[in-house]
Structure 1
Amino acid sequence: MEIINEQLSVLWTYITGPELWTTLITAFLRIIVIIIIAITIVKVTRSLVDKTFTNRTSGPIRISQRREKTLKKLIKNVVAYVVYFMAIVMILGVFNFDVGPLLAGAGVVGLAIGFGAQNLVRDIISGFFIIFEDQFSVGDYVAVSGVEGTVEEIGLRTTQVLSWTGEMHILPNGNVTQVTNYSLHNGLAVVDINIPYESNVADAEKIIDQVAITLPEKYEYIVGVPETIGVQNLDVSHFAIRIIADTLPGFQWAGERVIRKEMQDKLYKSGIEIPAPRLVMYSNEDKEKLFRENRERGL
């Protein structure tokens, strides 16, 4: 009993003594300092990234706004992961935890995972080259792996594409083998206007040109005055006049719709109606008369 009392007395002395509380307070303060430093580094780094990645119009380094948005988000995430991981390791060191075997074990486990998860490694490598080569960026309208939509996020492993009907598609980067990017260059709107044969080609083209001049002022995504190419096709009941127009990237379909609307409205008001299929019927008397006339002509 005396031994137990002595041990309890020693324990109580240790708990109430200054040595334990000094150690705990010191460790607590070191942890607080580590957390504050980590948060500060992340915030300062994010601020520096925002100031560094700007859409420069001059200078030796030029970064497009679309690529800037992608790189900024990726770099901020990577820096946050690295800094917080180092902070956790330092906090473990405060408690005299030997982090050497932990790091060595993590390296061995990572190597094993690298050999076993080949698809994961392929996705990460593909994601790196997608960003490095600027194949597409956040905000671009793309067609990739059978999916078409706007790129919402690009990670080192997956890419998120939002279709225009609202579905979010998450694609492994390793499956991105062919990309069609509609946001890199101006689009081309191609429209065929059907005109009935009763109308004159020159009159129809004159009206079309009058409408085309007004379109860039009314629609900001139409770049320059649309060009009338001429008669593109001859059909049974009409001929087609082709019009082409440069548009902002990704707006070629919107350009086609407004061109059809504006042209149809003006042509109809000018007396040029929409062509319709025609059916010619002959009675027996008209048929016999036509045969006699053809025989007389030697046809």
Structure 2
Amino acid sequence: MWCICLKNEYSCILASMISPTVVRLAWVLIYFLLAWLIVRFGRSLVEPLIISRYRLSRRRVPSEKRLATLSRLVAETFRAVVFLVASVLSLSLFVDSTGLFTFLGLFSAAFGLGARPLVSDYISGIIFLFEDQYAIGEKVEITGIEGTVEDMNLRTTHLRAPSGELYIIPNGDIRNVRNFARGAFSLGTVEVEVKASQIEKAAQVLQEVAEKAVETIEDLVEPPQLISADGVLAARTRFILIAKARYGQGAAVRRRLLVMVHEALSAAGVEHET
């Protein structure tokens, strides 16, 4: 009888010690289970919503690579936030709220100071992603380095230089971006030298070429302008046809203008050098 009472008393003491801990651990499991379920099913709702809104807010159609980067960012951010909330709720079961917020404040400050360059890279990457300052395949100049954007993620931008080198630039170091692929127009100029005795005839022929070029070259923004290079009358005079083409089409327009100028001057009997 004495043994039974002692055993019951021991069981009550053990139960009173274990019970709060078991309950807390059970709540921790519940929190993280709910977090896992929210991430698993909530991502399929949040991600398409943000991607669709991003598409509608862009004037240009975003590339698949940019959309994939944005999708990864949304997924990682959503997962981090959900599990962070689950972790804070779990810690609150074992630590009082005052101590918990003090710990989180100190941890955030220490992390911010220690990982400042890394945090700066990621924040800049997010800004570049949403502002769409440059895209993969575009020719740009970043921090004095000129090249084609080969890859970009939340931390770095990869530039392939014309000579073949690959530059990996941390996003936090990017301050100025010169984008060659997003101008209003490109220039396609043609220079030609003629004899002074044929200036009037050459100018007339070149003016006719400029008027005809607008009708035959679709990429021209406006009729080419004919000017004299230096305004000096000498044995030979140099004329310049300045043509504004759609951005990125300057070289193609220049080639077609060269052919038209050469054929027109040759047909008119004007000796020339281009």
Task: Check whether TM > 0.5.
Answer: yes
Partner residue, 1:138: 135
CA contact (8 A) 2:195 2:271 kept: no
| Superposed CA offset, 1:199-231 (max 9, x none) | 523322333233334445555433233222x21
Are 2:54 and 1:53 equivalent residues in the alignment? yes
CA RMSD of aligned residues (A): 4.5
Instruction: Judge conservation of contact 1:66–1:138 (CA < 8 Å) in 2.
Output: no
Q: Residue 222 of structure 1 corresponds to which residue in structure 2?
A: 220
CA deviation string 1:140-175 (max 9, x = no partner): 432222222343554443223344666543222233
Q: 1:266 to 1:75 in 2, by over 3 A?
A: same
SS at structure 1 position matched to 2:247: coil
CA 1:206/1:37 → structure 2, altered by over 3 Å: closer, same or farther? farther
Within a 5 Å distance, the mapping from 1:20-59 to structure 2 comes to 38-54=39-55
Q: Using the TM superposition, give the Cα deviation of residue 236 of structure 1 relative to its aligned residue in structure 2, in angstroms.
A: 6.6
| Structure 1 residues 122 and 153: alpha-carbon distance in aligned structure 2, compared to 1, 3 A threshold | same
Letter in 1 for 2:184: N
What per-residue deviation string (whole Å, max 9, x for no partner) do you get for residues 85-131 of structure 1?
467679999xx999989x99898666434313443344345445545
Q: CA deviation at 1:189?
A: 0.9
Identify if the C-alpha distance between structure 1 residues 70 and 203 changes in structure 2 by more than 3 Å, giving closer, same or farther: farther
Which secondary structure does the structure 2 equivalent of 1:224 belong to? coil
Aligned residue number for residue 202 of structure 2: 204
Q: Deviations over 1:58-98 (max 9, x none)?
A: xxxx63216798975554222110234467679999xx999
**Residues 152 and 203 of structure 1, relative CA distance in 2, 3 Å threshold:** same
Larger radius of gyration: 1
> Conserved in 1, the CA contact under 8 Å of 2:196 and 2:234?
no
> Aligned match of 1:123 in 121, 124, 127?
121
SS of residue in 2 equivalent to 1:205: helix
Q: Could you tell me which residue of structure 1 aligns to residue 18 of structure 2?
A: none
In 1, Cα distance between the equivalents of 2:173 and 2:39? 36
> Matches of 2:166 and 2:178 in 1, distance apart?
18
User: What amino acid is aligned across from residue 138 of structure 1 in structure 2?
Assistant: A
Say whether the 8 Å CA contact 2:198–2:270 is kept in structure 1: no
3-state SS, counterpart of residue 58 of structure 2: coil
In the superposition, relative to structure 1, how do residues 121 and 47 fare at CA in structure 2: closer, same or farther (>3 Å)?
A: closer
Would you say 1:65 and 2:65 are equivalent positions?
Answer: no
Q: Classify 1:90/1:114 alpha carbon distance in 2 versus 1 (closer, same or farther; 3 Å).
A: closer
In the alignment, which residue of structure 1 is the partner of 2:76? 81
> Does structure 2 retain, via aligned residues, the 8 Å contact 1:197–1:238?
yes
Structure 1: 5+ residue stretches without partners: 1-26, 56-61, 277-299
Q: Which residue of 1 aligns with 2:193?
A: 195
Structure 1 counterpart SS, 2:248: coil
Give me the whole-angstrom Cα distance separating, in 1, the residues matched to 2:119 and 2:198.
65
Return closer, same or farther for 1:214/1:163 CA change in 2, 3 Å cut-off.
farther
1:181-204 Cα deviation digits (max 9, x unpaired)? 233431241524222215523322
Separation (CA, whole Å) in 2 of partners of 1:52 and 1:118: 31
% identical aligned pairs: 22
Cα separation, 1, equivalents of 2:213 and 2:37: 57
Higher relative contact order (CA 8 A, sep 6+): 2
